[in-house]
Amino acid sequence: MAEDTTVNSAAQQIAAGYATEGEALELGTVLVDGKVDPTAKVRIPLATLNRHGLVAGATGTGKTKTLQGLAEQLSNAGVPVLLADVKGDLSGLSKPGEDGPKIQSRAADTGDDWVATGFPVEFLSLGGGSSAIPIRATITQFGPILLSKVLDLNDTQESTLGLIFHFADQRGLPLLDTKDLRAVIQHLTSDEGKADLKGIGGVSAATAGVILRALVNLEAQGGTEFFGEPEFEPADLIRQVDGKGVVTLVELAEQAANPKLFSTFLMWLLAELYEEMPEAGDLDKPKLVFFFDEAHLLFNDASKAFLERIEQTVKLIRSKGIGVFFCTQLPTDVPNAVLSQLGARVQHALRAFTPEDQKALTKTVKTYPTSKVYDLEEALTSLGTGEAIVTVLSERGAPTPVAWARMRAPRSLMAAIGGPAITDAAKASPLYAKYGTTVDGESAYEMLTARMAQQQAQQEAEQAPPPVAQDAPPPPRREKEEPGLIENILGSPAAKQFMRSMAAGLGREISRSLFGTRRRR
């Protein structure tokens, strides 16, 4: 009895660090020496979610269910959520869960009055190869920095791609899809484009050829489906239905063969949100929470400049009222500079089968506050499924005590709902009419093709023999006509100034952001 009292006392002391006055997400309850106290709650204050977080753990430890539970509670609080559904098993968020003995046992352990609940979900996918609503970005909007990551270019090649974008921006050549960029590169490396290639400086034909081959490889892997119009507007992520925040699921199963594309696409979305959202300051709850799944794919082989831009975006985007959670297997997958920006940590079990695993475990332990209750190195390898080592920021901004938490069970279906159900939900969405059909507008490919055809026709005309001269009657003399209303208007000084301003505007180079994406007007 005395032992149980001691355990409960330790659990309550830990839980006291998680007490909140404002709204909070319920993670679970404290576990000490294998015993759970249903009244010792572990929470994340909603007001601190724009300080970002990390959800990590080995495969099969309950990481995905933690994401599902967090998304549910955020939606209930009216906060929209974006989740990358890499494995396709989060679609159950749209349907009520199924009750059973395991659910009731978990509810008793966590003090949860569990009720099966479905949530408003939008199903999106990269490109048009899925049953969900296709979303796209134009090449121009995506920008040279992110595209270089997708194409796996080195620093020199990235710089060259930037100059190619600079040329297209200056010449008013819209790069909507991959064939547009391919047409521009082919033009610059052709005999007709030698002067243009020389004019932008620092671009070697050999490097341009390497970029062209990388682009062709991307097209062969299905990358053409993602780039194009209509372009997705990130503001469509921030919506509510009947007071609940919309959960946007981005299906990525079709892009499994090209993980760099979908991880970089998520970074593009984040960069776009940073550029578009107004400053918000400290809010009672975030405007949007962005779950960045399989985060290691973003950081693998990233250049120093790319990592610096990620760090800066994560650091600054919290002032826009947006929270970012990186989800990965090992905390060491996230660079220290980014990890230091994260306020919440939910660490599921780690495996220590190899020397590298043991090294990662030791590093992870050092990143936690000191605990008098747990041996963290032992705890991190002993966690059961659906349990995690947690520390977050309290309402006053201080780290909470480390808690071994038994996590709450999701209230929605913990399984996939199937393709036909996703198709029906996608077609019923208001976004389907906006993004469901691909638009192929006039862009760099058509403009350069027309220019080449015009040049070829001009050359043929110059090489053709002159026509035989024939006597012809002189044309009738015409009296000089008075200028009409249109001519008078166009000839006025004000109209001429307007036309000059408009022409200058058309030729003005596109303004680009921190990540090289086009700034929207």
- Six-digit token string for 104: 């009731």
Sign of the CA dihedral with 358 first, then 360, 362, and 368 last: negative
Return the pLDDT at 184: 92
- Which conformational region is residue 52 in: left (phi greater than 0), alpha (psi within -120 to 50 degrees), or beta? left
- Six-digit token string for 467: 């026509």
At 40 the three-state DSSP class reads: strand
395-416 pLDDT, tens digit each: 999 999 999 999 999 999 999 8
Pick the closest to residue 143 from 517, 520, 521, 474 (CA basis): 517
Instruction: Kindly state the percentage of the chain with pLDDT values over 90.
Output: 48
- Structural element, H or E, at residue 366: helix 355-366
In this prediction, residue 164 has a pLDDT band, given cuts at 50, 70 and 90, of very high
Return the pLDDT at 91: 92
State the amino acid at position 485 in one-letter form.
L
Return the pLDDT at 326: 93
Of the listed ranges 120-129, 430-439, 463-472, the one predicted with least confidence: 463-472
Return the pLDDT at 299: 87
- Torsions phi, psi of 290, nearest 5? -115, 115
The two beta strands, 387-391 and 344-347, are antiparallel
Return the pLDDT at 301: 79
In this prediction, residue 419 has a pLDDT band, given cuts at 50, 70 and 90, of confident
41 pLDDT more than 90: yes
Q: What is the mean pLDDT of the chain?
A: 85
**pLDDT average, residue stretch 50-55:** 94
Angle made by CA atoms 56, 58, 62, in degrees to the nearest 5: 75
Under CATH, to which class is 22-131+234-417 assigned? Answer: alpha beta
| Cα 98 to Cα 114: distance, rounded to the nearest angstrom | 11
**pLDDT average, residue stretch 433-462:** 77
111-156 pLDDT, tens digit each: 999 999 999 999 998 866 678 898 889 999 999 999 999 999 998 8
- Which conformational region is residue 222 in: left (phi greater than 0), alpha (psi within -120 to 50 degrees), or beta? left
At 322 the three-state DSSP class reads: strand
49 pLDDT more than 80: yes
- Annotate 409-440 with DSSP letters as a single string: PPSB-SS---HHHHHHHHHTSHHHHHHSS-B-
Of the listed ranges 220-224, 322-326, 369-373, the one predicted with least confidence: 220-224
425 pLDDT more than 70: yes
Return the pLDDT at 347: 96
Higher per-residue confidence, 88 vs 23: 23
Confidence (pTM): 0.85
> Which residues contact residue 336 at a Cβ distance below 8 angstroms, ignoring those fewer than 6 apart?
none
- Six-digit token string for 201: 């400086």
Contact criterion met (CB below 8 Å) for 199 and 163: no
Return the pLDDT at 471: 56
374 pLDDT more than 90: yes
Of the listed ranges 10-24, 50-64, 182-196, 244-258, the one predicted with least confidence: 244-258
469-497 pLDDT, tens digit each: 555 566 555 554 454 443 443 344 443 44
Buried b (16+ CB within 10 A) or exposed e, 13-27: ebbebbebeebbbbb
Higher per-residue confidence, 252 vs 167: 167
Of the listed ranges 265-269, 293-297, 370-374, the one predicted with least confidence: 293-297
In this prediction, residue 455 has a pLDDT band, given cuts at 50, 70 and 90, of low
278-291 pLDDT, tens digit each: 998 889 999 999 99
> Which residues contact residue 123 at a Cβ distance below 8 angstroms, ignoring those fewer than 6 apart?
91, 131, 132, 133, 249, 251, 422, 425, 426, 429
331-350 pLDDT, tens digit each: 888 988 888 889 999 999 99
Return the pLDDT at 486: 36
Return the pLDDT at 13: 95
Contact criterion met (CB below 8 Å) for 81 and 75: yes
CB atoms within 10 A of CB 201: 8
182 pLDDT more than 50: yes
5-19 pLDDT, tens digit each: 666 789 999 999 999
